[in-house]
Amino acid sequence: MDKIQEEHERLVGLYKEQGAEENRLLAYDSLILECARAKCQLDDLNIIAEKTGLVKVHPDYPDLQRSLPVATELTKVRASLTNMLTKLDKMLCTSISEEWDDLEEFE
């Protein structure tokens, strides 16, 4: 089993523990898979960043610096993963009855 599939199963398990309904899990399975893929990409990028650093500094002129591409990609993947997980949490961890309960105070 590859890393992406393992992460996918881990995420599904976490949402099941939180009480996500089976039909919602199935409906959002492709987004859960994308989260798993992004998490694995983030792990790989972090390994690269540990080896190379995020900024290249000129050896003679420390004021001359250049951001490495891995720094940009880390930021993009991190933001994307955070966004997807936030949306999944809202869609899977809130039941419809809880949503309606919040509206009862306005009646």
Chain segment 13-48, per-residue pLDDT in tens: 999 998 889 999 999 999 999 999 999 999 999 999
Q: How far apart are CA 18 and CA 94, in angstroms?
A: 10
Q: How far apart are CA 70 and CA 43, in angstroms?
A: 12
DSSP structure class, residue 66: E
Q: What are phi and psi of 73, to 5 degrees?
A: -65, -40
Give the DSSP H or E segment for 102: helix 96-103
What's the pTM? Answer: 0.80
Give the DSSP H or E segment for 70: helix 69-92
Q: Please list the helix, strand and coil fractions of the chain in percent, rounded to the nearest 5, in that order.
A: 75, 5, 20
Name the percent of the chain lying above pLDDT 70. Answer: 86
Mean pLDDT of all residues in 57-71? 95
pLDDT above 70 (res 106): no
Q: How sure is the predictor about 93, in pLDDT bands with cuts at 50, 70 and 90?
A: confident
Place of tokens 């009855």: 97
First CA to last CA distance, the chain: 51
* pLDDT in the model for residue 95: 57
